[in-house]
Amino acid sequence: MPHDIAWQHDAAARVAATALGPCAEHRGRVEETGDGVAMISGLRNARLDELLRFDSGAVGFAQVLEPDQIGCVLLDEAAGLQAGDAVRGTGDVVRVPVGAGLLGRIVDPLGRPLDGKGPVQGASLSPIERKAPGIIERDLVTDPVQTGVLVVDTLFALGRGQRELIIGDPATGKTTLAIDTIIAQRHSDMVCIYVAVGQKTSAVRRAVDALQTHAAFDRCIVVVAGSATPPGLQWIAPFAGMTMAEHVRDAGGHALIVIDDLSRHAATHREIALLTRQSPGREAYPGDVFYVHARLLERAAKLSAANGGGSLTALPIAQTEAGNLAAYIPTNLISITDGQIVLDAALFQQGQKPAVNVGVSVSRVGGKTQALALRNAAKSLRLDYAQFLEMEVFTRFGGVIEPRVQAKLTRGTRLRAVLRQDQHAPLRLIDEVALVLAVQNGVLDALTVKAVDAFRDGLAGALDAQLADLLVRVEATGILTNDDHAALLELLQKRAAPDG
């Protein structure tokens, strides 16, 4: 059974195979070819993932090993490849460039330039499949990733080394949320890698434009395998991006990888599996699709001090149909990651953007990393919001509303307004703390929802102008002292006052 082999063949064995180095050259013959794969006979000693070279110049890698045939996934268009062509095993695996030369570049999954700026400079090569760090090499996730998105940082905080799934229907703001998180790193030490798998050219263009305009693009790497590229290139893209990110992590640095998206990747995996005649399982995916994604995301980690203390945070994206989180690929990915941010089409249509469904989203490790100032301010936010949403549904049926309930509704409506945020406009920690304090202390209760928008829009400028020292202190320590708390609240109340 081909995928029994795949199942048993864990990442460790893959790396070990690399270490063996080249073996005696062996040759085979193309039996059949089409749609980005080739079936090959004769290469008896080929190993899983081995790089195969065709006499026509094309390359591919062994994805399926059967007793009499190999399923090879092509890494190029491979026009002109036909039955009878000769093929050689190389004894090597697929490798991609890593290193500083990639920063600020847009490349394909093999590191070939797509930005017309010439070859990637001074990069070394590293295999796309690498062993994930073991438990001993890891450390607990303790440092925050400031996403600059209020609803995420307050309710579903992320930590460095965490894997958080962004999931939702088409056009609910998944890509935007991930891109905005990268944009928010423009003043941090993170290297950000955006991997586009199977996306339309227009969508990739929009994402890259946003990064080039708003992010620190010289600390970003963009890996593109669009929907029109051969399935083999799409298949390796997330693995290639991971290898590039690991290079940063292993040097003691901090990397953030966005994989947009793993639903497309799963579809590509299924397509390849069907073409190489692996037996289909649930929803026609081959049985090893869970293992493929688990192996990939396991490589995100926070390393222990003894291993350099670097981190690799992963934000994989998945797409749902009609909000169905119980489909095969979504449930797989939800169980592999440390939480999920669920985007909701109905909220998006109502104009509540980012359209985070607060009831079903969760972050399992990041909460502990939240800056103290924000954690204290946002302590009861989630419960308050949940209660408000529930009350809102009940009061919709009409009837007399008690003053206590009315007060909660007023507060909740202001909170919802504050959680709305434009794209590409990341907030600083201090902006977030100030907004949450304003809501929770009732400063915004007397304002109309429209006035809340104006209040929010002018807030950063007011903080800069009037509380410059406090701002620096809070950004540096993450702590709001009692005096600072009082000063901040005073400024907020003044701004919300009718003549403020």
Ligand X SMILES: Nc1ncnc2c1ncn2[C@@H]1O[C@H](COP(=O)(O)OP(=O)(O)O)[C@@H](O)[C@H]1O
Identify which of residues 39 and 318 has a Cβ nearer to Mg ion in the complex.
318
Q: 57-85 as b/e, with b when 16 or more CB fall inside 10 Å?
A: ebbbbbbbbeeebbbbbbbbebeebeeeb
Question: Which structure tokens are listed for 402?
Answer: 């008690």
Count how many Cα atoms sit within 13 Å of the Cα of residue 215 in the half-sphere of its side chain.
32
Which of Mg ion, ligand X, none has residue 346 at its interface (CB below 5 to 8 Å by kind)?
none
Min dist CB 259 to ligand X, Å, is: 12
Residue 176 sits in the site that holds ligand X (CB under 6 A): yes
Identify which of residues 174 and 302 has a Cβ nearer to ligand X in the complex.
174
Strand-pair category, 339-343 with 362-363: antiparallel
What is the greatest pairwise CA distance in the chain? 85
Find out whether 348 and 172 touch, Cβ atoms under 8 Å: yes
What is the rounded distance in angstroms from the CA atom of residue 53 to the CA atom of residue 60? Answer: 7
Residue from 69, 147, 162, 175 in contact with ligand X (CB under 6 A): 175
Min dist CB 178 to ligand X, Å, is: 8
Which of ligand X, Mg ion, none has residue 340 at its interface (CB below 5 to 8 Å by kind)?
none
Residue 357 sits in the site that holds ligand X (CB under 6 A): no
Site stretch for ligand X (CB under 6 A), options 124-132, 262-270, 415-423, 461-469 = 415-423
Residue 209 sits in the site that holds ligand X (CB under 6 A): no
Which of Mg ion, ligand X, none has residue 423 at its interface (CB below 5 to 8 Å by kind)?
ligand X
Identify which of residues 259 and 272 has a Cβ nearer to Mg ion in the complex.
259
Residue 227 sits in the site that holds ligand X (CB under 6 A): no
Residue 214 sits in the site that holds ligand X (CB under 6 A): no
Closest CA to 160 of 127, 188, 194: 188
Q: Which residue has the tokens 């193309």?
A: 30
For residue 97, give the 3-state DSSP assignment.
Answer: strand
What is the rounded distance in angstroms from the CA atom of residue 289 to the CA atom of residue 329? Answer: 8
Which of Mg ion, ligand X, none has residue 421 at its interface (CB below 5 to 8 Å by kind)?
ligand X
For residue 260, give the 3-state DSSP assignment.
Answer: strand
Closest CA to 347 of 419, 426, 259, 395: 419
Min dist CB 254 to ligand X, Å, is: 24
Residue 174 sits in the site that holds ligand X (CB under 6 A): yes
Site stretch for ligand X (CB under 6 A), options 109-117, 364-372, 416-424, 465-473 = 416-424
Q: Tell me whether residue 364 is one of the annotated catalytic residues.
A: yes
Min dist CB 79 to ligand X, Å, is: 32
Q: Which residue has the tokens 């991930």?
A: 178
Identify which of residues 152 and 301 has a Cβ nearer to ligand X in the complex.
152
Residue 173 sits in the site that holds ligand X (CB under 6 A): yes
Which of Mg ion, ligand X, none has residue 395 at its interface (CB below 5 to 8 Å by kind)?
none
Given the residues 53, 88, 138, 364, select the one marked as catalytic: 364
| Binders of ligand X in range 143-172 (CB under 6 A) | 168, 170-172
Cα dihedral across residues 449, 454, 459, 460: positive or negative: positive
Residue 354 sits in the site that holds ligand X (CB under 6 A): yes
Question: Which structure tokens are listed for 430?
Answer: 């201090």
Residue 490 sits in the site that holds ligand X (CB under 6 A): no
Identify which of residues 175 and 313 has a Cβ nearer to Mg ion in the complex.
175
Looking at 378-428, list the stretches that DSSP marks H as alpha helix, in order from N- to C-terminal side: 381-395, 403-419
Q: How many residues bind Mg ion (CB under 5 A)?
A: 1
Q: Give, in order, the Cα–Cα distances in Å from 292 to each of 98, 108, 295, 315.
A: 22, 21, 5, 16
Find out whether 123 and 97 touch, Cβ atoms under 8 Å: yes
| Binders of Mg ion in range 167-206 (CB under 5 A) | 175
Cα dihedral across residues 444, 447, 452, 458: positive or negative: negative
* Site for Mg ion, rule CB under 5 A: 175
* Site for ligand X, rule CB under 6 A: 168, 170-176, 353-354, 421-423
Which amino acids are annotated catalytic? Answer: 364
